Structure 1
Amino acid sequence: MDENELRTAMRATITQHSEPPPMESRTALVTARRAARRRNILACAGTAAVVLGVTLAALPGQGYLGGGTGWAPAAGPSAPAEAFPTAFPSGQVPSEENTKPSWPAEASGDATADSGVHYQKGVALLEKLIEVVPAGYIVPTGNSPDDIPFRYHQATIEDGHWVYLVSVQLVRAGRAGQILIEVHEPGHDLPADPCELAQSFWGIGGSCEKRAVRPGEEAGIVAGPSTRDGVDQWVAFQHPDDTVVFVAQGLSTNVEGGRPLESLPFTVDQLVEFASGDGFK
């Protein structure tokens, strides 16, 4: 084969084979957001925004999900989440532009709300969380020396539904732990079984037990023998309207040099009450 024949063969190979399909940005984005959310809370909920921003910067038009600090009840039902595009109009060829997710107007170019009803619900959840902190604990304001906020709230659209994440650092006698709540609005694909639901929290797993809350309703409870991923104990509950609430607490904040609490701030009964009540829905 001479040079001309080789060139002809290569051109034929290119023109006769279809272009490989573009990467589905939605799948990549959701995976990155979930990983970033976990890192955020583990860092005590501040650096999370930076980590997520960096993670998603590699994806066109992507945003991030955070980690936290504190909260309060929502004033009313949230507006329906704007769904991600799942198909292209007939005859339209996928491109970098039309494969990008469609973000709601209240999120300025990414998945995290910075205004609007969902943003305000995150603020309300944080205020509510601060209200239930037990006597004797301090909820500091501001940031740590590493610029990690002690109080955090966030609302993010994930896979077509809204997720709220709030957390606060709890300080007592020079020691610090944390409590956080994660709320998934209806439309998620989380497990229905209470223990499978609890074990799905950040993918940590753990030994689970079920506890009856009301007739026909159970909460899943996971308690580890030692701190793992910044949380020692958590409860998961799925409400009749399909809203899922996770409530987790930890003896430490994973802040370098910090001393952990000597005991967990809340009882299991209190965590179950928070998860199954209407205050954090």
Structure 2
Amino acid sequence: MRSDAPVVAGVDGSPSSLAAARHAAELAVRRRAPLECLCAYQIPVYGYPPMGGVDPAILADEQIREGVERMLAGIEQDLRQAYPELRRVTVRELPGGPAMALIDRSQEALATVVGCRGKGGFAELLLGSVSAQVAAHAHGPVIVVRPPVPDEDTPTRSGLPLGPQVPLGPVLVGVDGSPESAAALAYAAEEAQSREVPLDVIHAYWTPLHPVTRDPEHEGVMEARQVLDHAVAPIRERWPQVQMDIRAVHTNGVEQTMIEASKDVGLTVIGCRGRGGFTGALLGSISRALVHHAHSPVAVIHRHDLER
């Protein structure tokens, strides 16, 4: 990873994407990285133009491009005013699908930040499906952000929310012993250190309905402790100053347990796929559930992210 790798935010003017831009700016400040706001848009497809008339696709292209340029200029101005300590702020517009544009740009990004749901409509900019695609296929950490409650007393040119954007609270990470969860735990520890907050480490486990051993609950507890001990040992050594709360949670619904745990934290970190996943899946069931339903921003980490 280059030392000047940017934090990339996908924007389309929606509240979710503006929250993503703000979250990306605060991450860029903490990591001393440049910030790049990217808007990819698609042009509506029309039929044959009228004889002697102007092609409506050309008019639509010009109108959408002008709107995108105004939006990006407003976002850039608001970010520079809100974060004068940013190293560099750039804005880019690209014709084409937003998911592919962000996935491609993620190859050079420190992290990619997207809103959970965008405008949709004619331009088809940042839809909820886009955040899921980017989370599944990006080449680095992906952070999915939800918009804050709007404050009508603090308008900005672009609609960018003012006031503290990164939620307060610890960083939460789920571990299951997989390589993906090890990468997620390392990223979570780094985030906790940069935010100066505690790190909550959870291993959610369940016992089978028809156990083959005499004491499945005891064995489940022992296995959970082993998973946690093995996972946190290298983290304690590398980030000794990070305060950790480590717990095993018995549950029959891992997804719901993690969603509930995300209520009181500043960031939830999860591996793209865990031990139960398969390589053909877009996202594991837990990461998919968190991307769609978590109460805090969600960082989805891939196994290869730490190797970049």
TM bucket normalised to smaller: under 0.3
Which structure is richer in relative contact order (CA contacts within 8 A, separation 6 or more)?
2
**Structure richer in strand, relative to its length:** 1
TM-score by length of 1: 0.27
**Structure richer in helix, relative to its length:** 2
TM-score by length of 2: 0.25
Mark the structure with the bigger radius of gyration. 1
